[in-house]
Structure 1
Amino acid sequence: MSENIFYTKAAKYWANVPATINGVLGGYEHISGIDIKGSKAFLNDILSLKNAPGTELALDCGAGIGRIAQYLLIPVFDKVDLVEQEKRFLSVAKRRIGELHERLGSLYNIGLQHFTPKKKYDVIWCQWVLGHLNDIDLIAFLVRCKKALNTNGVIVVKENITASEEIEYDDEDSSVARPYKLMQLIFKEANLELIKESVQDGFPDDIYKVYLFALVPNDLDKKAFVLAS
């Protein structure tokens, strides 16, 4: 499949998805609370690092209708920026987070393959969206994110991971699920160091295993990133 078809097909799919939690989660609205709970625990661990990232500015990548921003990031960070290619979703996100508007930052209506962060972020959160990028664009995107990290900044990736050693393609939404080893190779190619990983608990058996990865530029002293005692 050509690059253009891959991205165009995904855009058409999301243009027809209801702008609801059940819609953006593909009918799995019932796992949203479990998902947020697991993400909160992972984020709390990151914020307990000896040289922890700050809590001034976060970026939610593939933000959808703002579910992660609203329930995970905005309670923690002073400002949260959103990047999302489906304009309808951003409009709903702005409306959903209305009462917390002072913490809602910039909204970027663009696909991640074209997005270059212009600010310095303490945490860049990427969840259930990187499967919509091909390998080359994903590496390039992570490199751009790495350059946009503030002091002690961290990139978090939360994605489906295949049980096989093969890439698995979803023809419906034009996305891929990658095997663990390929994700590690992509992180290495982007010059990122894995400092923490976890597997999301409590999800149904009929969906992919979901991993959380915390990544920092690998030119930093890895020894500085130890959990505070």
Structure 2
Amino acid sequence: MGDKAEDETSFYSNAEGYWRDVPPTVDGMLGGYGSISSIDINGSKAFLNKFLGEGEGKTGCSCALDCGAGIGRITKRLLLPLFSTVDLVDVTQEFLDKAKHYLGTEGRRVENYFCCGLQDFEPMSGRYDIIWIQWVIGHLTDSHLVQFLRRCQKGLRPNGLIVIKDNVSFEGVVPDEVDSSVCRDLEIVRSLVHRAGLQIVHEEQQMNFPQEIYQVHTLALR
């Protein structure tokens, strides 16, 4: 058991160390693939628009949470245009500091900048219409991901949604020693979602990304 705790501690501390050395730019956030940012945002917008609006079962537009927000790329281009207020959470303080400048005048609608690893983060109860979790679940162990999703569920407003958008491997769990993360296949991600007591209400593959990178899937959960 001691070994497991030690492994877990180094898994998180190595990731923090990796991100501390990454430049606080869009290219840095996207591992050198800054050119895919617009394709990514447009895909996410089309996905989200299926759920937002007025009427039965629709998700509100009052407050969103950007998990693993980095410098606020998703907040700036996806969430602030759609929601009245946004909160950001990221483990790297330098990124959050940079976000305050990067977001420009619209950044005044950001209410909270939380510097915290998601394994320790507790969303405020009943606050969020959307909790957006992109390219960060690989930095959580299975049990921490399940626990985090359960806490996110408590953070949702009525008809709120949790959205995971992430790389999926072809088969099994593929570790990345460089940034201390893992990439799981879709079946494993789905099983962890179900373990957290959530249902997948919609799922899509992001199209038009470069061939050489992992497939990226987006899952809406309630």
Which TM-score band applies after superposition, normalised by the shorter structure? Answer: over 0.9
The Cα shift of 1:145 comes to 0.2
Q: Among 40, 46, 69, which residue is 1:35 paired with?
A: 40
Q: Among 202, 217, 221, which residue is 1:215 paired with?
A: 221
1:185 matches 2:180: no
Structure 1 unmatched runs, 5+: 217-229
1:135 matches 2:142: yes
Q: Which has the higher contact order (CA 8 A, sep 6+)?
A: 1
Poorly superposed stretches of 4+, deviation over 6 Å: none
Q: Among 15, 21, 30, which residue is 2:20 paired with?
A: 15
> Match for residue 224 of structure 1?
none
**Separation (CA, whole Å) in 1 of partners of 2:155 and 2:124:** 7
> Match for residue 125 of structure 1?
132
Quick one: which amino acid aligns to residue 22 of structure 2? V
1:54 matches 2:60: yes
Q: Among 153, 177, 189, which residue is 1:146 paired with?
A: 153
Q: How many residues in Structure 1 have an aligned counterpart in Structure 2?
A: 215
C-alpha RMSD over aligned residues:
1.1
**Separation (CA, whole Å) in 1 of partners of 2:195 and 2:86:** 28
**Separation (CA, whole Å) in 2 of partners of 1:101 and 1:34:** 23
The Cα shift of 1:139 comes to 0.2
> Match for residue 211 of structure 2?
205
**Separation (CA, whole Å) in 2 of partners of 1:51 and 1:90:** 33
Q: Among 180, 194, 199, which residue is 1:174 paired with?
A: 180
Structure 2 unmatched runs, 5+: none
The TM-score normalised by the length of structure 2 is 0.95
**Separation (CA, whole Å) in 2 of partners of 1:42 and 1:26:** 23
**Separation (CA, whole Å) in 2 of partners of 1:5 and 1:176:** 14
The Cα shift of 1:98 comes to 2.7
The Cα shift of 1:97 comes to 1.2
